[in-house]
Amino acid sequence: MKIESTPLAGCYIIHDTVFKDSRGYFFESFNAQKFEALTGIATPFVQDNQSASTRGVLRGLHMQIGVHAQAKLVRVLEGSVLDVAVDLRKYSPTFGKSFSIELTGDNQKQFYIPRGFAHGFVVLSDVAVFFYKCDNLYNKDSELGIMYNDPGLNINWQLPESSLILSDKDKKNFHLADVLHRL
């Protein structure tokens, strides 16, 4: 396992050691002891989630707030996504800044996103299977959605806006300026 820092403090790209041979491949996708030794973060994951989506599906930007905030460890099992994290920690020097990375079933990179970040992804391949671990259980009353196209965030989703597919719920997400008091 190799950890790579990102421009956003606390966000890490994880490169696992992949063992390949004629039968396929094997890798250890998470090891709490190694992760803590390399990052200083002890993260007790308590919930795993998985989704399958088609090209252009954009899920996000989502977060949990308050005592139900979640850190996430995300990866793609099949296909390709552009994964985006937005720092919404009020007193962070990178507040309002985003970081994006392409995660694929082939590159097998993982992305750790700490509590206090909004998160989303858009599918770049025909189909993508997305998997993530959370360090806190989902709580509907603590969810918060930020508009993917908030002009203050200026995120490049790498696909034309006309090709994006959003849930009815995500179409009603808030603009960041309207929810700053909730963070």
Q: Is 164 helix (H, G, I), strand (E, B) or coil?
A: coil
Residue pair 41/35 in contact by the 8 Å Cβ criterion: yes
- Read off the CATH number of the domain in which 140 is found: 2.60.120.10
Q: Does any domain span residue 98?
A: yes
Q: Of 62, 112, 119, 148, which is the active-site residue?
A: 62
Instruction: Please say if the pLDDT value at position 182 is more than 90.
Output: no
- Give the whole-angstrom CA distance, residue 41 versus residue 48: 18
Query: Which residue is associated with the tokens 């996708």?
Result: 29
Residue 127: inside a domain, yes or no?
Answer: yes
Q: Give the model confidence (pLDDT) of 98-138 as tens digits.
A: 999 999 999 999 999 999 999 999 999 999 999 999 999 99
91 counts as catalytic = no
Residue 34 belongs to some domain of the structure: no
pTM: 0.94
Percent of the chain with pLDDT over 70: 100
Q: Pick the catalytic residue: 12, 112, 132, 148?
A: 132
* Helix, strand, coil percentages, rounded to 5, for the chain: 15, 40, 45
Using the predicted structure, report yes or no on whether residue 92 has a pLDDT greater than 90: yes
Question: For position 181, what pLDDT does the model report?
Answer: 86
Do the domain assignments include residue 63?
A: yes
Kindly state whether residue 20 falls inside one of the protein's structural domains.
no
Q: 95 in a domain, yes or no?
A: yes
Q: Which domain holds residue 74?
A: 43-182
* Cα dist from 20 to 17, 24, 28, 120, whole Å: 10, 6, 13, 30
35 φ, ψ (degrees, to nearest 5): -60, -45
Active site residue 112: no
In a domain, 100, yes or no: yes
What is the model's pLDDT at position 13? 96
Amino acid at 20: K
Residue 65 included in any domain: yes
Domain count for the chain:
1
41-57 pLDDT tens trace = 998 999 999 999 999 99
Can you read off the two tokens belonging to residue 17? 């050691």
146 within 8 A of 176, measured Cβ to Cβ:
yes
Provide the 3-class DSSP secondary structure of residue 38.
helix
Q: Are 80 and 125 in contact (CB under 8 A)?
A: yes
Helix (H), strand (E) at residue 35: helix 32-39
Strand partners of residue 172: none
